[in-house]
Amino acid sequence: MNTPTPERTKTPVFIAFVTNDDTRNIVAAIREDNPQATVEEFPAMVKIESPGRLVVKRQSVSDLMGRDWDLQEIHLNLISLSGSINETEDEFELYWGQAA
């Protein structure tokens, strides 16, 4: 896990998805796991911003979706993002600052 240095905690990372039924669940999972994240809706697109760090957890999405969700399925709906990336089988993390 990467922890942004104190002065970096305010700089937002963001992730944006196509609006559809799958991302409805992904966004809900992100809200649960990232209490400081804010969600903005646009035509056909949803954008989530979070200060310093944002994590998408495979398990959280699977629980909400009602099936085993492969984290790499994120590619089907991803539109854009900002921040450095750390991808494992279980978590997709965006952050600013040094890697842990």
Partner 1 sequence: MSAVPKNTGNKKLGLKEKYGMMTRGLGWDTTYQAMDDVFPYDQFEGIKIHDWDKWEDPFRLTMDAYWKFQGEKEKKLYAIIDAFAQNNGQFNVTDARYINTLKLFLTGVSPLEYAAHRGYAHVGRSFRGVSARIASQMQAIDELRHAQTQVHTISHYNKFFNGLHDFRHMHDRVWYLSVPKSYFEDAQSAGPFEFITAISFSFEYVLTNLLFMPFMSGAAYNGDMATVTFGFSAQSDESRHMTLGLEVVKFMLEQDPGNKDIVQKWIDKWFWRGYRLLALVSMMMDYMLPKRVMSWQEAWETYFEKNGGALFEDLSRYGIRMPKYHEVASKEKSRLSHEVWATFYNFSHAAAFHTWVPEESELKWLSEKYPDTFDKHYRPRFEHWDALQKEGKRWSNPGLPMLCQLCQVPTIFTEPDDPTTTCLRETTYHGMKYHFCSDGCKDIFDNEPEKYVQSWLPVHQIFQGNCGGEGLDNVLKYYNLVPGQDNGEYMGSQDQMNWEQWTGRDHKDAPAA
Size of interface with partner 1, in residues (CB under 8 A):
28
**By CB under 8 A, is residue 76 in contact with partner 1?**
yes
For residue 56, give the amino acid letter.
Answer: V
Q: Is the dihedral of CA 59, 56, 68, 66 positive or negative?
A: positive
**By CB under 8 A, is residue 84 in contact with partner 1?**
yes
- In sequence order, the β-bridge partners of residue 82 are 14
Strands (E), the chain: 12-18, 38-42, 45-51, 53-57, 78-82, 84-87, 91-95
- Which one among 12, 25, 34, 57 touches partner 1, defined by CB under 8 A? 12
**By CB under 8 A, is residue 1 in contact with partner 1?**
no
Cα–Cα–Cα angle for 9, 79, 99, rounded to 5 degrees = 35
Per-residue interface string for the shown chain with partner 1, residues 18-47, x marking contact by CB under 8 A: x-----------------------xxxx--
Give least dist CB 35 to partner 1, A.
21
Binding site residues, partner 1, CB under 8 A: 8, 11-12, 14, 18, 42-45, 72-73, 75-82, 84-85, 87-89, 96-99
